[in-house]
DNA sequence: AAGTGCCG
DNA sequence: AGTC
């Protein structure tokens, strides 16, 4: 029964260790992509993408919305999680089932059990957009990992260390790739290099990133 | 208490 | 083009 293709079919998604506690799961989100994209449209119809402003008063090049019980927000007063979208003054849209299912699957695949995200930050990059090196540290429980899902145009993910000046490694992230970091890697600095121009069949000239966290 | 920001 |  076994033939040349059996090992390939039995194989799990390609995984690449980025660091102790950090894993890149290539293509894990591919089977979810259509459902994810449809759900993103629904979310954006309720809580539109907007360019948030940082504490320094600069508008981010990335456009943001959220779903889930808590949403990441930034304005001149700083960063925080809020149950209410400051633009609509209503709760963020509920987290779709396919979002939660993928996040949980990814965490398990990466060896982080018991991941229960209550927040999904949705970032939209158009060519030229970037996210400079930062830490995710506004969450209450650093025992819970971060799960990051890439859709659309490819991007260069920058993954550093615990200290800002630690060396930074770069990884190409494609449509369907998922990065999970937790444990000793939970507070690693990370960012996204300026997005290059291109065209993606499903999303056109953009990249959308889903970042799942347990905020509270 | 800054910070996922921009500039040279 | 990478780094400060």
* Predicted pLDDT of residue A76: 87
- Write down the number of H helices and E strands in chain A: 3, 15
Per-residue pLDDT, averaged over A148-162, amounts to: 95
Asked if the model's pLDDT at residue A24 lies above 90, the reply is yes
User: Which residue intervals of A47-168 are DSSP H helices?
Assistant: 97-109
Task: Write down the domain spans for chain A.
Answer: 15-213
Quick: pLDDT tens for A130-145: 999 999 999 999 999 9
Q: Tell me the whole-structure pTM to 2 decimals.
A: 0.93
The answer to whether A168 CB is within 7 Å of strand C is yes
Grade residue A10 by pLDDT with cuts at 50, 70 and 90: low
Contact indicator for A69, A118 with CB cutoff of 8 Å = yes
Q: Which residues bind near strand B, taking a CB cut-off of 7 Å? A: A 54-56, 58-62, 72, 74, 77-80, 121, 130-138, 164, 191
Specify the nucleotide whose C1' lies closest to residue A58 (CA): B5
Quick: pLDDT tens for A67-124: 999 999 999 888 999 999 999 999 999 999 999 999 999 999 999 988 999 999 999 9
Spanning CA of A194 to C1' of C1, the rounded length in angstroms is: 13
Spanning CA of A72 to C1' of B7, the rounded length in angstroms is: 27
A15-213: CATH topology is: Jelly Rolls (2.60.120)
| C-beta neighbour count of A213 within 10 angstroms | 26
The answer to whether A156 CB is within 7 Å of strand C is no
| A51 is known to lie in a ligand binding site | no
Residue A11 burial (10 A CB sphere; 0-12, 13-18, 19+): exposed
Q: How far apart are CA A209 and CA A151, in angstroms?
A: 6
């Amino acid at each position: 029964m076994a033939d040349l293709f059996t090992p390939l079919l039995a194989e799990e998604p390609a995984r690449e260790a980025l660091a102790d506690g950090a894993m890149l799961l290539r293509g894990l989100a591919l089977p979810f992509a259509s459902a994810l994209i449809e759900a993103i449209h629904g979310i954006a119809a309720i809580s539109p993408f907007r360019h948030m402003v940082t504490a320094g008063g600069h508008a981010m090049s990335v456009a943001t919305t959220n779903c889930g019980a808590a949403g990441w927000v930034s304005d001149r007063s700083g960063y925080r999680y809020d149950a209410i979208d400051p633009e609509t003054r209503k709760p963020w849209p509920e987290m779709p089932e396919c979002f939660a299912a993928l996040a949980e699957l990814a965490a398990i695949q990466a060896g982080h059990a018991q991941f229960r995200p209550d927040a999904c930050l949705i970032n939209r990059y158009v060519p030229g957009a970037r996210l400079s090196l930062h830490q995710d540290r506004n969450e209450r429980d650093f025992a819970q990992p971060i799960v990051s899902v890439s859709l659309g145009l490819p991007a260069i993910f920058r993954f550093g260390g615990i200290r800002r000046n630690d060396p930074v490694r770069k990884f190409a992230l494609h449509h369907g790739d998922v990065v999970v970091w937790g444990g000793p890697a939970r507070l690693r600095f990370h960012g996204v290099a300026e997005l290059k121009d291109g065209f993606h069949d499903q999303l056109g000239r953009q990249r959308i990133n889903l970042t799942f966290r347990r905020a509270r």
